[in-house]
Amino acid sequence: MKFIKIIAGILGFFLFLAVLGAGGVLYGFYHFGKGLPDYTQLQDYEPPVMTRVHAGDGQLMAEYAIENRVFVPIRAIPQRVVRAFLAAEDKNYYDHIGIDPMGVARAILINLKNVGKGRRLVGASTITQQVAKNFLLTNEVSYIRKIKEAILALRIEKVLSKDRILELYLNEIYLGYGSYGVAAAALNYFDKSLGELDIEEMAYLAALPKAPNNYHPIKRTQKAVERRNWVIDRMAIEGVITPAEALEAKAKPLNVVSRSETAVIDAPYFAEEVRRELVHMYGEDKLYKGGLSVHTTVDPKLQEIAQRTLQGGLESYDRRHGWRGPVATIDSTLAWHEALTEITPPKGAPSDWTLGVVLQLNKGDVSVGLADGTQGVLPFSEMTWAREWLEGQLLGPRLKKPSDALNKGDVVWLKPVTQNSKGDKYQPNTFALQQIPKVEGGIVAMDPHTGRVLAMVGGYSYDYSQFNRATQANRQPGSAFKPFVYLAAMDKGYTPSTLILDAPFVLDQGPGLPKWRPDNYSNKFYGPSTMRLGVEKSRNLMTVRLAQTLGMDTVSEYAKRFGITDNLPKVLSMALGAGETKLINLTAAYGMLVNGGKRIIPTMIDRIQNRNGITVFKHDTRECPHCLALNWTGDQIVPQIADNRESVTSPQSAYQIVSILEGVVQRGTGRRVSVVGKPLGGKTGTTNESRDAWFMGFSPDLTVGVYVGFDTPIPLGKHEAGSTAAAPIFRDFMKEALADKPATPFRIPNGIRLVRVNARTGQEATPSDTNVIWEAFKEGTSPSESNSVLEGQSDEIVTPGDVDTGGGLY
Average pLDDT over residues 27-31: 44
* Residue 771, amino acid: N
So what's the pLDDT on residue 525? 92
pTM of the predicted protein model: 0.85
The rounded mean pLDDT for the chain is 88
Do 127 and 90 touch, CB atoms closer than 8 A? yes
What's the rounded mean pLDDT across residues 659-671? 96
Comparing 128 with 248, which gets the higher pLDDT? Answer: 248
pLDDT for 607-655, tens place per residue?
999 988 899 999 988 888 777 777 777 777 788 888 889 999 999 999 9
> Where does the pLDDT of residue 35 fall: very low under 50, low under 70, confident under 90, or very high at 90 and above?
very low
776, pLDDT greater than 80: yes
pLDDT mean over 23-47 = 54
Q: Is the pLDDT of residue 27 over 50?
A: no
Q: What's the confidence (pLDDT) of residue 800?
A: 43
| Range 241-258 average pLDDT | 93
Angle at CA 753, nearest 5°, toward 748 and 757? 115
- Among 30-44, 214-228, 576-590, 607-621, name the most confident range: 576-590
Q: What pLDDT score was predicted for residue 636?
A: 76
Please say if the pLDDT value at position 803 is more than 80.
no
Single out the residue of 117, 77, 789 nearest to residue 498, CA to CA. Answer: 789
Answer for the pair 385, 367: CB distance below 8 angstroms, yes or no: no
Instruction: Note the residue count of the chain.
Output: 810
Tell me the one-letter amino acid at 48: P
- pLDDT category, 421, cuts 50, 70, 90? confident
When pLDDT is averaged across residues 331-336 and rounded to a whole number, the result is 84
- Residue 534 vs residues 362, 497, 544, 668, 669: alpha-carbon distances, Å: 54, 10, 11, 10, 11
Return the sign of the alpha-carbon dihedral for residues 773, 779, 784, 788.
Answer: negative
- Give the phi and the psi of residue 605 in degrees, each rounded to 5: -125, 125
Give the lowest-confidence range in 23-32, 177-186, 685-694.
Answer: 23-32
Judge whether residue 564 has pLDDT over 70.
Answer: yes
Of the pLDDT bands very low, low, confident and very high (cuts 50, 70, 90), residue 348 is very high
Question: How high is the pLDDT of residue 798?
Answer: 47
* Residue among 161, 177, 160 nearest 217 (CA): 177
**Residues of the chain with pLDDT > 90: what percent?**
68
Q: Can you give the pLDDT at residue 755?
A: 95
pLDDT mean over 387-405: 94
Give the per-residue pLDDT at 801.
39
- What local confidence, expressed as pLDDT, does residue 804 receive? 36
Confidence (pLDDT) at 15: 58
Beta-carbon contacts of 622 under 8 Å, excluding residues fewer than 6 positions away, are 641, 642, 644
- In this predicted structure, what is the pLDDT of residue 6? 65
Q: Given this model, what pLDDT does residue 618 score?
A: 92
Q: Which of 12-26, 175-189, 430-444 has the lowest mean pLDDT?
A: 12-26
Q: Measured over all CA atoms, what is the biggest interatomic distance in the chain, rounded to whole angstroms?
A: 145
Question: For residue 178, what is the DSSP state?
Answer: T
Tell me if residue 89 is catalytic.
yes
For strand 527-530 and strand 605-609, is the pairing parallel, antiparallel, or unpaired?
unpaired
Mean pLDDT, residues 374-387: 96
pLDDT category of residue 148 using cuts at 50, 70 and 90: low
Lowest mean pLDDT among 224-228, 424-428, 571-575, 780-784: 780-784
**Helices 199-206, 221-237: inter-axial angle, 10-degree rounding:** 110
| Residue 41, pLDDT score | 62
pLDDT for 124: 67
pLDDT value at residue 626: 75
Backbone phi, psi, residue 616, to 5°:
-110, -10
CA 245: distance to chain centroid? 48
48: nearest Cα among 227, 183, 171: 171
Q: Tell me the average pLDDT across 204-209.
A: 93
Q: Which of 479, 497, 556, 573 is catalytic?
A: 479
For 35-74, give the DSSP string: T---GGGGGG----B-EEEE-TTS-EEEEE-SS-B----G
Looking at mean pLDDT, say which of 39-43, 103-107, 127-131 comes out highest.
127-131
Q: What is the crossing angle of helices 79-89 and 199-206, to 10°?
A: 40
Residue 469 has pLDDT above 70, yes or no: yes
Mean pLDDT across 598-602: 97
Of the candidates 636, 401, 366, 589, which has an alpha carbon nearest to the alpha carbon of residue 477? 589
Q: Pick the range with the lowest mean pLDDT from 148-162, 214-228, 229-243.
A: 148-162
Give the DSSP H/E element, type plus range, for residue 26.
helix 2-33
Q: What is the pLDDT of residue 43?
A: 66
Per residue in 730-757, pLDDT tens?
999 999 999 999 999 999 999 999 999 9
Helix axes 162-172, 79-89, angle to 10 degrees: 90
CA-based torsion, 181, 187, 190, 195: positive or negative? positive
**Measured CA distances, 569 to 474, 538, 561, 694 (Å):** 15, 21, 15, 21
- pLDDT, position 26: 45
Residue 362 has pLDDT above 80, yes or no: yes
Residue 19, pLDDT > 60, answer: no
C-alpha dihedral over 788, 552, 600, 733, to 10 degrees?
70
Share of the chain above pLDDT 70, in %: 88
More confident residue, 24 or 282: 282
Has 479 been annotated as catalytic?
A: yes
DSSP assignment letter at 410 = E
**Angle 196-197-202 from CA coordinates, rounded to 5°:** 155
Say if CB 319 and CB 728 are below 8 A apart: no
Confidence of residue 808 (pLDDT cuts 50, 70, 90): very low
Quote the pLDDT of residue 28.
Answer: 45
Q: 701-734: per-residue pLDDT in tens? A: 999 999 999 999 999 998 999 999 999 999 999 9
Residue 422 CB neighbour total at 10 angstroms: 6
Per-residue pLDDT at 760 exceeds 60: yes
Whether 337 shows a pLDDT value over 70: the answer reads: yes
Q: Is the pLDDT of residue 194 over 70?
A: yes
